[in-house]
Amino acid sequence: MIWRLRSRSRTICLSLAVVTASLYLLLLLASHSVDLQPCDALLPSKTHVLRDLAHQNLSPAGVQDSAATVHGNSSNRDASSEVRGHADQARKSVESGLSKLEALFNHPLYNLPCPPIPEEDLLLKVRPQVEASETNSQIWSDKGVPWSSNSGSHPPWLQFHLGISRWQLYPHQDPNMELLVQQLAKHRIVSAVQKSGGTQLKLVMSFPNYGQALFKPMKQERDEETNYNLYYFSDFERHNAEIAAFHLDRILGYRRIPPAVGRLVDVVKEIKNVTTDRKLARTFFTSPVGSVCFYGLCSYYCSTEHAVCGHPTGLEASLAVMLPDLSLAKRRSWRSPWRRSYSRSKLAKWETQSNYCAKVKKTPPYNEGTRLVDFMDMVILDFLMSNMDRHHYETFEKFGNYTFLLHLDNGRAFGRHSKDESSILAPLEQCCRIRRSTWLRLRLLSLPQYRLSDIMRASLSQDPLHRVAPLLSDPHLVALDRRLKTVLETVDHCQRRLSEVCFIVSWLQY
């Protein structure tokens, strides 16, 4: 009997203990869930904040008016303070990046000593032309326009042409670059005609000083990512990608992309009213909301459904300085050995053959000279900006196999920031070849004091269209750092995979 009472008491005590523990756990979970409840709205992204600021009147009067409007409304006042805080933070970030950019371009790796450029290493030169009235002068004629031998009288575009050498399009910290950029961004447009060839709409714009620029219009918002269901050859070209590619190419120390600048163009005054291209002129129309649109003639996306429209007449675009006319400087087009199949079902040879690079190394022009390491430079550029559309590249015929590759047509770059396309790095992974100066500059750009994303942000802030909105959103800039790390890891993997004797690092400076 006593044993039964003790057993019953023990059972009751255990039950009470379980109930007490359960209640304690419930209270603990309830309090924890309260702590995790969101109480503040998510902050807008920095890109959208800066875009909103670009459309506000930030003059002193405008600030006073805004302050008077929100006075007495604490929530609006807090929001305004928050926006100003983001703007201040963005400004400080750009200022810090500009100092990093200056330090980078002053670094010894970007100022390697080099001898004067021999005359045969210049693409163009002023050639003597003796006339009866000018026996002691030298003139050179381009487009039928005579220019004296005095370089100070040359317009910026001509100085750019005369500065092209065997190893680069323009010298490091070229003083002519600022004048050239101003011409592209501000000079009056006197003619606009459609450029033949290519798959999408492009125009050739002419200036009063006979300079010309390649025009690519804005077709989609900067932050709009490429649809994942689209193949790379079906994507739109982006005006901001052309501008960003020029800045990235310069930061990497290549200087193989013609200078490109953003510009807000008036569709009516600067295209429709000045064009002499009748086929282009027939494609202009006014949309139902009053915007002036045109679509031109091309292989893809040239129809009323894919028209380019102003707002109502203003249109963002990239303008890149044209290279010398083919009659003066012939270019040769080369098919990329790692060209994609451009098929929805077939794979290219480099995707299926394990020893593919060994075959390429034995094939001209990759079997001698600098062609292979020049190609690796282009591969690294394309991977950083996620450009999968490099099916061909060009060189100047004059320099043969010992010259740089032109990094042209970058409109399909910067399409996705959320995905890194590792297949672009296949040539580097398969060949394990890289130019030493490129490798050293990449390592430099991975350091905090020269972080690639900071320098790229600062460099792009100097473009005229930055006043409208940043040319690359923060996710794209973050992706640059991430991809740079991948490139360096790929090189490290090559070094580990092969012996130091077998791993080839080119010691060329250019």
Best CA proximity match to 243, nearest among 223, 257, 253, 233: 257
The candidate with the shortest Cα–Cα distance to 337, out of 346, 348, 328, 329, is 348
Which residue is listed with tokens 């459609």?
A: 194
* Residue 447 tokens, joined: 């350091």
**Catalytic residue (choose from 235, 389, 454, 474):** 389
Neighbour-count burial of 316, counting CB atoms closer than 10 A to its CB (0-12 exposed, 13-18 middle, 19+ buried): buried
Nearest to 321 by CA among 201, 164, 196: 164
Residue pair 309/291 in contact by the 8 Å Cβ criterion? yes
Nearest residue to 379 via CA among 258, 254, 278, 472? 254
CB neighbours of 164 closer than 8 A, spacing ≥ 6?
122, 123, 124, 170, 323, 324, 329, 396
Task: Judge contact between 310 and 293, C-beta under 8 A.
Answer: yes
List, as residue ranges, the binding site for ATP: 200, 216, 237, 320-323, 394, 409
Residues at the binding site are 200, 216, 237, 320-323, 394, 409
Half-sphere exposure of 159 (CA within 13 A, CB side): 19
The count of other CB atoms within 10 Å of the CB of residue 331 is: 15
Whole-number Å distance between alpha carbons of 482 and 450: 14
3-state class of 389 per DSSP? coil
Is 389 labeled as catalytic in the residue annotation?
yes
Binding residues for Mn(2+): 237, 409
DSSP 265: E
Catalytic residues: 389
